[in-house]
Amino acid sequence: MNSSEDEKFKEPGIGRGNRARFLVRKVPVIVTMIALIIVIKSAIVLLLWNALVPELFHGPSLTYLQALGLTVLVKLLFGFPRFGPFSGRHWGPPWKARWAGLPPEEREKLREEIRRRCWGEAST
């Protein structure tokens, strides 16, 4: 390790030993939040189903456990949101990759063209 990496681990709150403490504190919070979201979604499904389906389609009313099961079933069938580099989503504006590949002369030429078109500025 070089000296800048050594300094990074000497700062309070950053380091390998604190990572375990961070996880011990954050994992229960994350699990609780996920459970709370499932409970709230199930309640919303229950309310919407019981308000709409019996009236519109003459279907049965649901209990809370049936709504919970329906919520889990829908999540299993339609999947979970994916994040990260393999999510299939392209984050950020589409022009960033193209801009990064431009040589400096082309970038400056494009900047001047944008200034001229958007702000009416003449080239300097």
Contact 42, 35 (CB under 8 A): no
Same domain, yes or no: 76 and 42: yes
Helix (H) or strand (E) holding 70: helix 64-78
Helices 64-78, 16-57: inter-axial angle, 10-degree rounding: 110
Same domain, yes or no: 59 and 104: no
Can you give the residue range of the structural domain that contains 101? 90-124
- What is the reported pLDDT for 99? 80
Answer whether 0.85 is exceeded by the pTM: no
- What is the reported pLDDT for 80? 74
Same domain, yes or no: 53 and 73: yes
Same domain, yes or no: 57 and 17: yes
Same domain, yes or no: 43 and 72: yes
For residue 23, what are the CA distances in angstroms to 8, 13, 27, 112, 121? 19, 13, 6, 49, 54
Average pLDDT of adjacent 10-residue blocks, the chain of 124 residues: 52 61 85 93 95 94 94 87 62 74 89 85 60
| CA angle (55, 73, 31) in 5-degree steps | 115
